[in-house]
Structure 1
Amino acid sequence: MSTTTYKTRESVPAKETWRLEDIYSDSSTWQTDYDKIVELTTKLKEFYQNIHNGESLLTYLKLEEETNFLYRKVFAYGMLLNDLDTRVTHAQVLRDKATQLGQQISAARSFFMPFLLSLDEETLKEYISEADDLRYFEKDLYEAYRYKKHVLTKEKEEVLALMGEALSAPSKIFGMINNADIKFGEVTSDGGEKVELTRGMFAKIMKNEDREKRKEAYKAYYKPYVEGQNTIAATLAAAIKNNVLTTKLREYPSALEKALFADVVPKEVYENLLKVTKENISPMHTYTEIRKKLLGVEELRPYDLSVPLVKGVEKEISYDEAYDIMLKSLEPLGQEYVSTLKSFKEKRYFDVRETPAKRSGAYNMGVYGVHPYVLLNHQDDIRSLFTLTHECGHAMHSYYSGKYQPQISAGYSIFVAEVASTVNEILLIRYLLKTTEDSKMKKYLLNYFIDSFKGTFFTQVMFAEFEKITHEKAENGEPLNVDVFNLIYEEIFSEYNGDTLVLDDEVKYGWSRIPHFYRPFYVYKYATGYVSAIEIADRILSGDHETLENYLTFLKSGSSEYPLELLKKTGVDLSKPEPIQNALAIFSDLVDEFSKS
C-alpha cells in the first residue's frame, strides 16, 4: 500500500497540494485587500439615510458588490490556509480576522434591507428608470419584495434582532453538549484495554466483522445521549418552539412554509416526498431481510446495519488511477466537461493527502473570480474514489456557474448543490458495475449503491418526517418532551426499516444526536437532490442528448432562476410524484439484483 498519510506537509508531492497563490501571492497581498475592505465598509455606512434616487442606489449596490467580491477572496484564503494545518497560529489569525471583518460588513449594511422594503414599488421603479445599470440588480431588488409581508414594523424588527442571540441559544447549547461536553462510554481495544470511544472510532467499529465489538460500541455511543435525554429534549423543544414563534410573528402559514419560502418550494413538494416514499417502502424492508440472512444472525439489531455484506474486495486505487477512472466514468457528460475536469488536476485545484492537524473530511469551495478548491483526505481506496468524484461534481458546478454567470447570480442554492455531485457518483457506479467482471466486486458495488441510496435518501426522508411531526405538534400547542420525541422517532424508524429489525432501547433516542434538527427542514434537500440526480444521470446514460445539453446548461446557471425551475429545465419536475417513484423503482431493482447476485 502506498503512503496515504504523511507526517508533514512538506513530504507531500507538490502536485497533490493546493496553489493558494492563485488567490494571493502571500499574506501581505491578502492584507492589502483586507485593508481595502475596511475602507469600503466605512463607505457603506455612509449610505445610511443617504439613498434618495437611482444614482445613489446604484452607487451603493456597486460598492456592496465590490466589497463582497474582495471579502470572498479574503475569507477563502484564511479558511483554506487554516484547514491545511489547524495548529498554525498565523493561519488562525487570518481566518479569525476575516470572520470578524464579515461581521463588520454585515453591520455596515444592516440598514439596507429595511430601507429597501420601506420603498413603495413605484418609487423603486422610478429609481431603476433613472439609472440603466440598475437593471443588473433589478431581479434581486424585487426578490427582496417577496419578503415584505413577512417583515415587521421597525420597532418589532429591532426587538427580534435584540432577541437573536436568545433565539439561537438552543442550537449553540446543543453544539456545546454534542461537541464539547459529551464523553462516550468505553470500548475494548484490540489489545484488550478499555479506551474511551470517539466518533471516528464508532464509524469504523460499526463496519467491524466482530459483532460483539459493534454491540459494545453502539451501547457506549448512545450512553451519554440516554443519560442527557432530558436536557437535550428541552433544548430541541426550545429550538422548535422558537422557530414556531418566529413563524407566527412573521405571519407565515407554518414553520415548514417559512423554511421553503426562500427557494419558492411549495409545501406539496415536501409532503409528496414523504407520501411517495412511504408508499414505496417495501424494498427497504426486503433489504433489511436480506441483510439478516447474509449476516446469519437470529435477530438483526441496529448495530448490524452498517457492516459490509461483501468482504475481501478492497483493493488499492492510487490517486492518479482514481482520477483516471473518474474521468472515464464521466465521459457521457461530453469532451468539454472531461477535459476541463482533467485540467483541474494539472492546475492543482486539489489538496489531496491527509497530514497532521489537517481538517478532516472533504469539501469544495468555489472562489468567484479565481477557481474551485477541493479538500480531500485521499486514502487510495474505493471510498476515496467516490469522494473524489462527488467533490468534483461540486467543483465543476462552481466552475461553470462562475464562468457563465455574473457575480450576482454565480452562487447556487443548497437545494440544487447535491445534484451535480450525485450525478457524478451515479455515473461512476454505473460505469464500475458495467465494466467490473469480478462477480464479488460487482456485488460489493451493488451493496455500496444500496447503502448510499439508503443513507442519502431514506434516512433523510425519515428525518424530514420527524421534523414535520414535531413542528406540527408545537404549532398545535401540544407538549414536546423526551417521551414524545422517543415515541415519534421509534415509530418512524421501525416504519422505515421494517419488522425484521429488532429495536434496542437506544434506537428511540436517535433524535437526540442529530445536529440538523437545529436547522429546520433542511435535510429533505439531500433526498430531492438524490432523486433528481438519478433521473438525470440515467437519462444521459440512455443517450438522451437533450437531457445532457439541458444538464450542462443547469450547471452554468448558478442562481439565475429558482431551484425548481432550474431542475424542470433538465426534465425533472419535483412538483410531481414521478421522479420520486422512478428513483424508488431503481432502488427496488438494485435490491432485487443484489439478492440474486
Structure 2
Amino acid sequence: MTLSSDLPRWDIESIFPDFAAWDEELQSVVGEIQTLSAFRGTLTRDPEHCFQFLQAWQELSLRVHRLGIYTTMKVSTDTTDQEARRKQGESQSLSAAFQSELAFVEPELLTLPEEHARKWFEHHASLKVYQAFFEKLWAQQQSMRSTEIEALLGAVSEAFQGAKSIHPTLVNELDFGSIATPQGEVKLTHTSLQSLLAHPDRAVRKAAWEQYARKHLEVQQTLATAVSTGVRQNVFLARSRRFKSSLAAALYPNRIPEQVYHNFMQVFEQNQQIWHRCWQIRKKALNLPDFAEYDIKAPLTQSPPVVSYEQAVDFITEGMRPLGEAYVQTMRSGLLEDRWVDHALTPHRRQGAFSIGNSLTRPFIFMSFQPSLFGMSTLAHEVGHSMHRHLSNQIQPIVYEKYTLFAAEVASNFNQALTRAHLLNTVQDRDFRIAVLEEAFSNFHRYFLIMPVLSRFELTLHQQAEQGKTLGAAQMNRLMTELLSGVYGSEVQMDENLNGILWSQFSTHLYSNFYTWQYGTGIAAANALAARVLSGEAGAVDSYLEFLSLGGKLPPLEALKVAGVDMSTPAPIEAGFRTLEGLLDQLERLL
C-alpha cells in the first residue's frame, strides 16, 4: 500500500490534532514543572522516592520534547506559518523553563555519596535501571556547577537560540531568482539548487552556483555576526563549566577524548590527494578545459536513472535485507503505510532533511524527495536515523532512549552503504552503475570533504574567540577559501568570495558546537560495519542491531565497540579513505 498524493505525508495529527490540543498540553506541562520543582532537597531521602522522582522527571522531559517536535514539524513544512513560528518560540521558552526549574536535580543527586548510591542499586531493583545514568553523572561531575549556576545556565538557553534561529530565518527569506535552462526557467531555491548543480549544461551549473553564492554574499555581514555570536556563546558556556576550550566542552559530556577529533582531522589532511585524483578523473571524463566547484556534481552519464519514491523504498528495502525481516518490515511499513515521511515538494519548505521523534511519537522524516538516486540516498540516510530511534525506544527505558550525535551518523550512513552495495552487486547497466558511484561520491564529498573543512573552520573561529578575537565576513571567506584549497589543490579554480561564502550555506551545522566532524566519523564507522555485515562475518548483524538498541546507555565509543568498530584509533578513518579510493577505481574502469 502506498500513500495517495492527496494525503499528508506524515501523520502529524498522531502527535496533536491541532494547536488547541497543543496549548492544552503546554499548560499541563507547565503545571507539572512546578509540581516537580517542589521536590528540591528531597531526592536523596530514600531510593524509592528518588526512583519515583526520576521517572516523573524523565516522562515530563519527553512531553516537553514532544511539544517542540510538533512545532518543528509545522514550521519545516511551511516556514511562513506565523502561528507555528510563534508556538515554536513558546516551546523553546518552555524548554528553557524546564531546564532552569529542574536544574537542581543533577547537582543534588551528586551530593549522594557514590557508595550509598551503589548500595541503593544493589538492594532496590527499580532504581538499578538508573545506574548507567549515575555513572555518566559521576563522570561529568567536574563540569557540574552549583544549583544556582545550573539554573542560570538553563534560563539563558532560550536567549542563546537567537543566533541559531536568525541564520535559517534569513536565508529562507532570500529570493535567489530563476535560472535559464534548455528546458525553460527554473526557480532557484534551497531545494532546486542540488538538481541544478547536477545539470548536464555547464552554463546552468555555473549560473546556479554563482547566483546562490552571490545572494548569500549580500547578507554575509549579518550571517557572520550570527555565527560569531553562536561561537561566543559556546565559549561562554565552556568557561562557565570550567573547560579549557570549547572543543573540550563539546566532547566531554559524551566521554570522547580530544585525540579522537585530532585523529580524524589528521587522517583527513593526510589523504587530500585522493580528492585531487577525483577532480582529475572528473575533468577528463567531462572533457572540460578547466574545473570549478560547480563541476563537482556534473553528471558523468547522459542517462541518470529516474527513481520514484516507491522504487527508492524498494531499493532500500532490498539493501537492508541482511539485517533481517523484522528490521525490513518495520522500515517498509513506516515509509509506505504508517506515514513517517513528509517528502512532498511544496512551497515554503525549509531546506535539508531530518529525522525527528521520541518514544511518545512515531519516528518522522522530513525531506524534499527528488526522483533520483540522490533522493533515494537521502531517504536511506534518514530512515537509518528513524530505525535507530525506533529500536532504541523499543528496548531502552526513557532515560537512555536518546543517543549521541556521534552514534547517530553511523546508523544513517550504514543504510546508505548497504543500499549502495546492493545496487552495485545486482545492477549491471553501465549508466546505472556510474550513477550509483556518483551518489557515493556525493555522500563522501559531503562527509569526508565538506564537513571536515567546516569543522576546521569551526575550530579556528572558536580558537579566535577564546583569544578575544572575532572574525568578520571577509575574514571568514578568506579562511574558508584557504581550507578548501587543500582539498581542491591546483585542479579546482577558486574565487575567494564565491568559494569562501560556503560557510554561510549551512544554516544549522555551525550552531551545533563541533557536530560537523562527526559526519566524517559516522561515515567511516558505518562503512567499516557494513563491510563486516556484507562479508558475512559471524555475529556482525547481531552486534550491529545490539548497537542500534543501546540508545544512549553507553558512551558512543563503547557502543560502537559493541557494534564491532573501535573509533578511538585512526584505523577506521584510514579504512574510510581506502573505501573512497576503491570507489574511484570502479568509476575509472567504467569511464
Indicate which of 468, 491, 498 corresponds to 2:482: 491
Is residue 344 from structure 1 mapped to residue 334 from structure 2 by the alignment?
yes
Q: 2:246 maps to what in 1? A: 255
Is residue 398 from structure 1 mapped to residue 383 from structure 2 by the alignment?
no
**Which of 1 and 2 has greater Rg?**
1
- Correspondence list, 1:75-86, <5 A: 75-76=68-69, 80=73
- Counterparts of 2:233 and 2:387, CA distance in 1: 38
Conserved 8 A contact 1:353-1:376 = yes
Indicate which of 534, 538, 543 corresponds to 1:550: 543
- Counterparts of 1:320 and 1:476, CA distance in 2: 53
- Correspondence list, 1:80-479, <5 A: 80=73, 101-117=94-110, 121=114, 133-152=126-145, 169-175=162-168, 177-180=170-173, 184=176, 188-190=179-181, 197-315=188-306, 317-345=307-335, 347-351=337-341, 354=344, 356=346, 359=349, 362-368=353-359, 371-476=362-467
Q: In structure 2, do the counterparts of structure 1 residues 242 and 325 end up closer, same or farther at CA, with 3 Å as the change threshold?
A: closer
Kindly state the Cα deviation for residue 280 of structure 1 after the two structures are TM-superposed.
Answer: 1.8
Conserved 8 A contact 2:373-2:435 = no
Q: In structure 2, do the counterparts of structure 1 residues 384 and 289 end up closer, same or farther at CA, with 3 Å as the change threshold?
A: same
Conserved 8 A contact 1:58-1:131 = no
Is residue 41 from structure 1 mapped to residue 53 from structure 2 by the alignment?
no
Is residue 540 from structure 1 mapped to residue 530 from structure 2 by the alignment?
no
- Counterparts of 1:25 and 1:164, CA distance in 2: 29
Conserved 8 A contact 1:314-1:381 = yes
Indicate which of 501, 510, 531 corresponds to 2:502: 510
Q: Give the secondary-structure state (helix, strand or coil) at the position aligned to 1:364.
A: strand
Q: In structure 2, do the counterparts of structure 1 residues 540 and 257 end up closer, same or farther at CA, with 3 Å as the change threshold?
A: same
Identity %: 27
Kindly state the Cα deviation for residue 501 of structure 1 after the two structures are TM-superposed.
Answer: 0.8
Moved more, 356-365 or 324-333: 356-365
1:200-228 C-alpha deviation (Å, 9 max, x unpaired): 34333322233233333333322244455
Conserved 8 A contact 1:24-1:30 = yes
Kindly state the Cα deviation for residue 420 of structure 1 after the two structures are TM-superposed.
Answer: 1.4
Q: What is the TM-score when the length of structure 2 is the normalising length?
A: 0.86
- Counterparts of 2:395 and 2:424, CA distance in 1: 34
Q: What is the TM-score when the length of structure 1 is the normalising length?
A: 0.85
Indicate which of 583, 586, 589 corresponds to 1:590: 583
Q: 2:572 maps to what in 1? A: 579
- Counterparts of 2:152 and 2:309, CA distance in 1: 54
Kindly state the Cα deviation for residue 494 of structure 1 after the two structures are TM-superposed.
Answer: 0.9
Conserved 8 A contact 1:368-1:402 = yes
Kindly state the Cα deviation for residue 529 of structure 1 after the two structures are TM-superposed.
Answer: 0.6
1:375-428 C-alpha deviation (Å, 9 max, x unpaired): 454454433322332222222212211111112112221111121121111111
Amino acid in the other structure paired with 1:208: H
Conserved 8 A contact 2:197-2:294 = yes
Kindly state the Cα deviation for residue 151 of structure 1 after the two structures are TM-superposed.
Answer: 3.6
Unaligned runs of 5+ in 1: none
Kindly state the Cα deviation for residue 256 of structure 1 after the two structures are TM-superposed.
Answer: 1.0
- Counterparts of 1:162 and 1:108, CA distance in 2: 8
Conserved 8 A contact 2:279-2:492 = yes
Is residue 59 from structure 1 mapped to residue 52 from structure 2 by the alignment?
yes
Unaligned runs of 5+ in 2: none
- Counterparts of 1:239 and 1:456, CA distance in 2: 23
- Counterparts of 2:12 and 2:235, CA distance in 1: 44
- Counterparts of 1:243 and 1:302, CA distance in 2: 31
Q: In structure 2, do the counterparts of structure 1 residues 472 and 95 end up closer, same or farther at CA, with 3 Å as the change threshold?
A: closer
- Counterparts of 1:91 and 1:227, CA distance in 2: 28
- Counterparts of 1:183 and 1:73, CA distance in 2: 33
Q: Give the secondary-structure state (helix, strand or coil) at the position aligned to 1:199.
A: coil
Amino acid in the other structure paired with 2:276: H
Conserved 8 A contact 1:302-1:502 = yes
Kindly state the Cα deviation for residue 576 of structure 1 after the two structures are TM-superposed.
Answer: 1.0
Amino acid in the other structure paired with 1:67: L
RMSD: 3.7
Q: In structure 2, do the counterparts of structure 1 residues 125 and 430 end up closer, same or farther at CA, with 3 Å as the change threshold?
A: closer
- Counterparts of 2:431 and 2:274, CA distance in 1: 22
Q: In structure 2, do the counterparts of structure 1 residues 244 and 372 end up closer, same or farther at CA, with 3 Å as the change threshold?
A: closer
